[in-house]
């Protein structure tokens, strides 16, 4: 099984509802350094699983829909907490939609996606799914 990983980041503000979040119930923010991994069992004739440049652009495009925003005002997350887990799933699902729609071109052998959001030097969350 092959994997190709690209890294980018986003800068968001948000607050979290629920006693469990303690001080994070107040409006605050985070840098999420995001690793997106594309997985598959075979390489194409060029010897690649995905075009890594396009993979990087795809991740950048997905994060462009989130970065430099206050996620409390984002209708897509209405009624939900934008926890690191929720955001990891959101990014993975958007990447999966795009890959299925052909965003990575002829490299059609991607069978899974994993997304890791690093929120500090001490904590991260991830979501992985089949395509």
Which positions lie near a second copy, rule CB under 8 A? 1-9, 11-14, 16-18, 20-24, 26-33, 43, 46-49, 51-53, 56, 67-70, 80-86, 88-89, 105, 119-129
User: In whole angstroms, what is the distance from residue 16 CA to residue 20 CA?
Assistant: 9
Q: How far is the CB of 61 from a second copy (least distance, A)?
A: 14
User: In whole angstroms, what is the distance from residue 114 CA to residue 36 CA?
Assistant: 6
Q: Which is nearer to a second copy, 39 or 101 (CB)?
A: 39
- The one-character DSSP state at 19 is G
User: In whole angstroms, what is the distance from residue 84 CA to residue 94 CA?
Assistant: 15
Q: Which is nearer to a second copy, 31 or 98 (CB)?
A: 31
Q: How far is the CB of 47 from a second copy (least distance, A)?
A: 4
- The one-character DSSP state at 23 is G
Q: How many CA atoms lie within 13 A of 128 on its CB side?
A: 11
Q: How far is the CB of 9 from a second copy (least distance, A)?
A: 5
Q: Which is nearer to a second copy, 83 or 96 (CB)?
A: 83
If you count them, how many residues does the chain have? 131
Q: Which is nearer to a second copy, 15 or 98 (CB)?
A: 15
Residue 11 in contact with residue 63, Cβ under 8 Å? no
User: In whole angstroms, what is the distance from residue 23 CA to residue 36 CA?
Assistant: 29
Q: How far is the CB of 72 from a second copy (least distance, A)?
A: 9
Q: How far is the CB of 97 from a second copy (least distance, A)?
A: 19
Q: Which is nearer to a second copy, 97 or 105 (CB)?
A: 105
């Amino acid at each position: 099984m092959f994997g190709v990983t690209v890294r980018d980041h986003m800068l968001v503000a948000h607050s979290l509802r629920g006693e469990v979040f303690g001080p994070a119930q107040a409006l605050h923010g985070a840098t999420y350094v995001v690793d997106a991994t594309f997985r598959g069992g075979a390489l194409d004739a060029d010897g690649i699983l995905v075009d890594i440049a396009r993979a990087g652009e795809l991740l950048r495009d997905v994060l462009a829909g989130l970065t430099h925003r206050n996620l409390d005002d984002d209708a897509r997350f209405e009624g939900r907490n934008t926890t690191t887990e929720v955001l990891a799933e959101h990014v993975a699902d958007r990447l999966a939609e795009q890959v299925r729609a052909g965003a990575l071109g002829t490299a059609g052998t991607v069978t899974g996606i994993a997304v890791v959001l690093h929120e500090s030097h001490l904590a991260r969350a991830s979501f992985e799914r089949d395509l």
